[in-house]
Structure 1
Amino acid sequence: MRLGVATPLKDARQGALLPRGLRYKSLPGLAASAAAVVVAWLIHSTVPVMPFLTVSVILGILCANLPGTSAAVEGVLQPGLVFSAKRFMRWGIVLLGLKLSLLDVAALGWKTLAIVVGIVLLTFMGTLLLGKALNLPGDQPLLLATGFSICGASAIGAMSGVTKTDHRDTVIPIALVTLCGTLAIAVLPALKGPLGLDTVQFGYWVGASVHDVGQVVATAQTAGPASLAVALIVKLTRVLMLAPMVTGAALVGRFRRRRTANGAGDTGIKLPPLIPFFVAGFMAMIILRTLGILPPVVLEAAGTVQDLLLAAALFGLGASVQVRALLQTSGRAIMAAMLSWGLIAALAFAGVHII
C-alpha cells in the first residue's frame, strides 16, 4: 500500500473490459458515487458558496477516513470508485469543451489573451520547477503544475490520463489544488478592498488565478455579475490551454517511449496516441460550441451531465485520500502547492494592472 492513498483493486482499472463478474463488483461503488453526487448537489443548493465539485471531493475524503465507512471504501466499494475516478473524469472533460467558445476568447483581445496564456505558462513552469526542486515523487510536479496553472482537478485528471499515472498518485495533487481553490473563495474577496481592485479588475484576477470553474464562480460572484462574467471568460480561456498542454505531454511521452524502445532494440513497443481520444473529444466540443449549431437546451443538458460526471469522478478520487498518512508524508507537496498558489495569484495580479 502507498502512503496517503487507499489500495484499489488492480483489475478495476480495466473498466468495461473486465469480465462480467468483476463488472458487477463495480456496482456498489458506482451506486455510492451516485448517492454522493446527490448529497453534494443538495449541499451546494443549500449553501451555494460551496462549489458542487469541491463538496464532492470533500465527501470522498470523509468517506475514506470516517470509521463507519472507511472499510467499505477500501473493500466492496473500491472497484466502482476506481471506475468513477478514471472513466467519468475523461467523459466529463470531453463535455467541458461545450462551455468554451473561441468567439468569447477572441473577444478578450490579443493583449489580454497573451497575458492569460503567459500566466498559465509561467505558473506551469514555475510549479514544475518547484516540484522538482522539492524532490516530489513521480508525476507529482507535472500534475501540480497542470492543476494550478489550468483548471484544477479536471486538468490533473486529463494529464494523468496521458501520462498513464496510477490514479492513486493523483490524489495528493487533487487534494491540494482543491484545498487552495477552496481557500481562495474566502481569501480573495477579503483582499479586494486592501488591494484597491475595482469590480472588473477583481473578475480578471479571480479568473486568472483560481483553479476550478466552480470555485471561480463562488469567488467572483461576491463582487457582482459584472465581475463574474469577466472571471468566467478569463477562466475558460485558461481551460482552452488544456488541449495543447496535454497534447504536448503526449508527444513528449511518445518521444521518450520511442527512444527507450530504440535503445533496447524493441520495435514492438506500444506508443501512446498523438492526441488522446478524450482530448480530441474536448477540442471537438469546443468547435461545436463555437459554430453555434447546438441549441441552448442541449448545451444546458450537457453542462449538467458534465457536472455530474466530474462530481462522481472527484468523489472517487477523494475516497482514495487517507488524511493521516497524507499529513505525515506530504509536507513537501503542501509547500509546493502553497508556493504555486502564491505564484499564480501574484502573476494574475500583475496581469490585471498590465491589462
Structure 2
Amino acid sequence: MTSTPDISRRRAPWVPGVAVAAIALGLAWGVHLVLPAAPILTVCVLLGILVAQIPQARSALDGVLAPGLTLSAKRLLRIGVVLLGLKLSLVDVAGLGWLTIVVVIAILAATFLVTWALGRWARLPGDQPLLLAAGFSICGASAIGAMSAVTRDRGRDAATPVALVTLCGTAAIAILPPIGAALGLTDMQFGAWTGASVHDVGQVVATAQTAGASALAIAVVVKLTRVVMLAPVVAITSVVIRRRGGGAGTRPPIVPLFVVGFLIAVVIRTFLPIPETVIGAADVAQTVLLGLALFGLGTGIRFEKLVRTGGRAVAVGLASWLFIAVVSLGAVQLLPLA
C-alpha cells in the first residue's frame, strides 16, 4: 500500500528540494539580521556550497531533493530576475549624467569581452567563458543564472562561475573599503567604484555602506545601471545562439520571456506611480525567489571537482575581478564626482 507522503512526492517531486532551500533561506536571513554586512543572497549561495561538500548530503541532493533544487535554480530564478526590474528606474539612471552612464557601460562591455576572451584562451569547457563574462561584468550569480537559461547547456556549466563570482564578490566587501581609504577616495568616488566593480547588488550595498549614505546612494544607482544591461546582453546572446543552433527545437527564443518581463517591470517602475508598499513586497519576493535559486545553484558545486578541473576557471575569474576593479577605479577618479 502506498503511503500519502509517497503519493505527494510523486505528484509534486519538487516539494522536498524547495523546502530545504526555504530552510536555507531562513538561515541566511537570520545571519543577515545578526550581521547586516552579510548579504542574504551571498549567504544563500555559500550555504548551498557548504551543504554540497558534506558527503552524507550528496545522495539526497542528487536524488530526492534534485527536482526542487533544479526548479529553484531555473524557473524561480527567472521570476526573481523579472521582479529585479522593479528596482530600476530609468530616471535614477539618467540622473547619473550621460558621461557616467557611458563610462559604466564601457567598463561593463570591456569586462565582458576580456573575460570571455580569457575563458576561450584558457579553453574553459562549454559555456563557462560566457557565464563568467556575464557574472563578473553585470550582476553576479543572478546574471549567470539568467544567461544560462539561454545557453546550449541550460545551466550545466553554471556551478563553477557561480562559486567564483560569489567568492570574489564576498571578498570585495572586506578588501575594497581599506583600499578606498588608503587611496583617499571621496565618498562619491568610493560609491561609484563599488557600484561599477562589485558583482551582486547585496554585495554592493554591504561594501558601499561602510562609506556612508552618499556612497551607498550612488553605488546602488551605478550598480542598477549595470543590471539594466542584463536584458540586452541576454537577448543578444539568445539571438546569436539561435542563429548558430542546429535544429529549431534546440534554439532559445529570440527574446526570452523572462527578459521581456524584466523590461516591462523596468518600464512600470519608471513611468507609473507604484505605492511603496508594493515596491517593498516585490523586493521581499525577489529576495526570496533569488535566495531559493542561488541556494540551488550553490548545491551543484563540488570543491574536489573544482580543484581537479577548475584551476583555469579560477585564474580567469581572478583576472576578470582584477580587471574590472582596476579599470573602474581609474575611471571613477576621472569622472566629475564630488
TM-score, with length taken from structure 2? 0.94
How far, CA to CA, are the matches of 2:21 and 2:325 in structure 1?
A: 33
Q: C-alpha offsets along residues 109-158 of structure 1, whole Å, 9 cap, x if unaligned? A: 11000000000000000001110111111100000000000000111111
Paired amino acid for 2:13: K
Paired amino acid for 1:310: L
Q: 1:241 aligns with which of 207, 225, 229?
A: 229
Paired amino acid for 1:314: L
Is the 1:160–1:170 Cα contact (8 Å) retained in structure 2? Answer: yes
Q: 2:318 aligns with which of 308, 333, 338?
A: 338
Is the 1:33–1:312 Cα contact (8 Å) retained in structure 2? Answer: yes
Could you say which residue in structure 2 is the equivalent of 1:329? 309
Instruction: Kindly report which structure 2 residues correspond to 1:1-355, keeping only aligned pairs within 5 A, or say none.
Output: 22-257=10-245, 260=246, 269=249, 271-355=251-335
How far, CA to CA, are the matches of 1:34 and 1:319 in structure 2?
A: 13
How far, CA to CA, are the matches of 1:153 and 1:270 in structure 2?
A: 24
The alpha-carbon deviation at position 165 of structure 1 amounts to 2.5
Unaligned runs of 5+ in 1: 1-18, 262-267
Structure 1 residues 177 and 43, CA gap change in structure 2 (3 angstroms): same
The alpha-carbon deviation at position 67 of structure 1 amounts to 3.8
Paired amino acid for 2:153: T
Paired amino acid for 2:306: L
CA RMSD across the alignment: 1.5
The alpha-carbon deviation at position 68 of structure 1 amounts to 4.2
Paired amino acid for 1:91: I
Structure 1 residues 132 and 112, CA gap change in structure 2 (3 angstroms): same
Is the 2:21–2:69 Cα contact (8 Å) retained in structure 1? Answer: yes
Q: Helix, strand or coil: the match of 1:167?
A: coil
How far, CA to CA, are the matches of 1:353 and 1:132 in structure 2?
A: 31
Paired amino acid for 2:28: A
- Which 4+ residue blocks in structure 1 deviate beyond 3 angstroms? 19-23, 268-271
Q: C-alpha offsets along residues 238-268 of structure 1, whole Å, 9 cap, x if unaligned? A: 00110110110011112112xx45xxxxxx6
Number of aligned residue pairs: give it.
Answer: 329
Is the 2:9–2:15 Cα contact (8 Å) retained in structure 1? Answer: no
How far, CA to CA, are the matches of 2:235 and 2:168 in structure 1?
A: 26
Q: Helix, strand or coil: the match of 2:273?
A: coil
Q: C-alpha offsets along residues 146-173 of structure 1, whole Å, 9 cap, x if unaligned? A: 0000000111111111114332310100
The alpha-carbon deviation at position 53 of structure 1 amounts to 0.4
How far, CA to CA, are the matches of 2:58 and 2:316 in structure 1?
A: 28
The alpha-carbon deviation at position 23 of structure 1 amounts to 4.5
Unaligned runs of 5+ in 2: 1-6
The alpha-carbon deviation at position 326 of structure 1 amounts to 1.3
Is the 1:168–1:320 Cα contact (8 Å) retained in structure 2? Answer: no
Is the 2:140–2:165 Cα contact (8 Å) retained in structure 1? Answer: yes
Q: Helix, strand or coil: the match of 1:41?
A: helix
Structure 1 residues 164 and 22, CA gap change in structure 2 (3 angstroms): farther
The alpha-carbon deviation at position 352 of structure 1 amounts to 0.4
The alpha-carbon deviation at position 20 of structure 1 amounts to 8.3
Q: C-alpha offsets along residues 295-322 of structure 1, whole Å, 9 cap, x if unaligned? A: 1100100000000000000000111111
Could you say which residue in structure 2 is the equivalent of 1:10? none
Structure 1 residues 270 and 315, CA gap change in structure 2 (3 angstroms): closer
The alpha-carbon deviation at position 24 of structure 1 amounts to 2.2
The alpha-carbon deviation at position 269 of structure 1 amounts to 4.9
